Amino acid sequence: MFEKLTPGQEIESTVVQISGDTVFIDLNAKSEGVISAAEFLDENGNMKIKEGDKIKAIFTGEIRGEMKFTTRIAGEDADDSMLENAFKNQLTVEGNVKGEIKGGFEVLIGNKRAFCPFSQMGGREKEESAAYIGRTLPFVITEYKEGGKNLIVSNRAVLETERKEHIVTLSKKVTEGAVVSGTVKSLQSFGAFVDVDGFQVLLPISEISHQRVQDISSVLKVGQEITAKVISADWKRERVSISTKAMEKDPWDSVLENHKAGEKFDGQISRIADFGLFIQVEAGIDGLLHASTLEGVDKNTNLKKKFSVGQTMSVVIKEIDAKAKRISLLPATSVEQDNSAESYLSHQDSSETYNPFAALLKK
């Protein structure tokens, strides 16, 4: 049970209810304090607390019988005692950015002027200085001197604290194997950065699809919504990787049903390596045509000059190792050549076949 409270006094209490735009905290068996729920929303509008959580709050006064509290001191409530208390307990205060001055910004907190260095304004993603002017932002007081006449504040410290709290929350649900939804933020040659609940994760280009992706912009667009599986989550280093490929059916699971050793087909070269050519067997599956099996090729041959990606090759499947996801290929006559030969033989007139005895009788 709390004794008589005075404005500016900080207490620790338990959240007993979250209803609409109000959070109720326990004061005693018959009384509750109220706090604006907006103070507990993250940058995406999600509630950061739940019933039963312990929180620290500052008593701002009694209005029409309601005991009002806050977790951050608004400018109009910021008297000297509250600012000093905020400094000692590193509580959040709200300030209005009045303008840019040498080395930083002038910030008005109540009737007090404070200084915020450039380095302490904004989070990791910096904006232009003009973007902050005129805005009311949260700060912590890092220096309180001369009875509050000399104040230095930091907006970045508030954002970093919120970010760390958000990371802790995310780390509990964005775990290896979890399925997440996100928005593509940027495209790079090595993959795409995707925003998942305010945190950027990497979608490597090799994890986009079972089919080889040459141009990432042909399959993804900035702003596109995607669903993917988390394949690695290192929250100590704040590195998370996801895969949309993991959401697809693996074509290797049915490779033995669709293909057999001895099968002949015409396929396109999907990749050229020093040791041979990779030929597409089907979407998402390539087979290797080793350089040692190629006619007119020796150890000094530059395969990238002799062959080109997209070129069609006639091959036959030598061996399939589904477990290792490998298919060995051999060169073959083309399917077109085989069909032409078969057609010629089937239409060949037996009377046109050379018969030495028939030739003698014609003489």
DSSP string, 292-337: GGSTT--TT--HHHH--TT-EEEEEEEEEETTTTEEEEEE---HHH
Query: Can you give 72-114 as a three-state secondary structure string?
Result: EECHHHCCHHHHHHHHHHCCEEEEEEEEEECCEEEEEECCEEE
Across the chain, mean pLDDT equals 86
Confidence grade of residue 102 (pLDDT, cut at 50, 70, 90)? very high
pLDDT score for 46:
84
Instruction: Find the distance separating the first CA and the last CA of the chain, reported in whole Å.
Output: 131
pLDDT > 90 in the chain, percent: 53
Out of 43-52, 75-84, 113-122, give the one with best mean pLDDT: 113-122
pLDDT of 303 above 90: yes
The amino acid present at 74, given as its one-letter code, is A
| Alpha-carbon gap, residue 32 to 110, rounded angstroms | 28
Radius of gyration of the chain measured on its C-alpha atoms: 36
**Is 356's pLDDT higher than 60?**
no
Our CA angle for 87, 34, 166, nearest 5°, is: 60
Check residue 77 and give its pLDDT.
59
pLDDT for residue 6: 78
Q: Give pLDDT, residue 126.
A: 78
To which residue do tokens 């006639």 refer?
314
Residue type, 161: T
- 219 by DSSP, 3-state: which? coil
Least Cα distance to 204 among 239, 234, 169, 236 occurs for 239
Task: Label residue 359 by pLDDT band (50, 70, 90).
Answer: low
Q: Give tens-digit pLDDT for 246-261.
A: 998 888 888 998 999 9
Confidence category of residue 299, pLDDT binned at 50, 70, 90: confident
Please give the Cα distance from 327 to 34 (Å, whole number).
68
Would you say residue 50 has pLDDT above 70?
A: yes
Side chain identity, residue 4: K
Across 40-49, 90-99, 286-295, 314-323, least confident range: 40-49
pLDDT on residue 114: 92
Confidence of residue 339 (pLDDT cuts 50, 70, 90): low
SS3 48: coil
Q: Which of 39, 137, 147, 34 is nearest to 83 (CA)?
A: 147
- Beta partners for 105? 100, 116
Q: Does residue 8 come out as left (phi exceeding 0), alpha (psi in the -120 to 50 range) or beta?
A: left
Mean of the pLDDT values across residues 196-202? 93
Q: Give the tens place of pLDDT for each residue, 110-152.
A: 788 999 999 999 988 778 889 999 999 999 999 988 877 889 9
Round to whole Å and give the CA distance between 13 and 26: 6
CA 122/CA 160 separation, integer angstroms: 9
d(CA 98, CA 108): 7
Report the share of the chain in percent with pLDDT over 70.
Answer: 89
- Give tens-digit pLDDT for 163-193: 888 899 899 999 999 999 999 999 999 999 9
Q: Is the pLDDT of residue 29 over 80?
A: no
pLDDT classification of 318: cutoffs 50, 70, 90: very high
262 or 76, which is more confident: 262
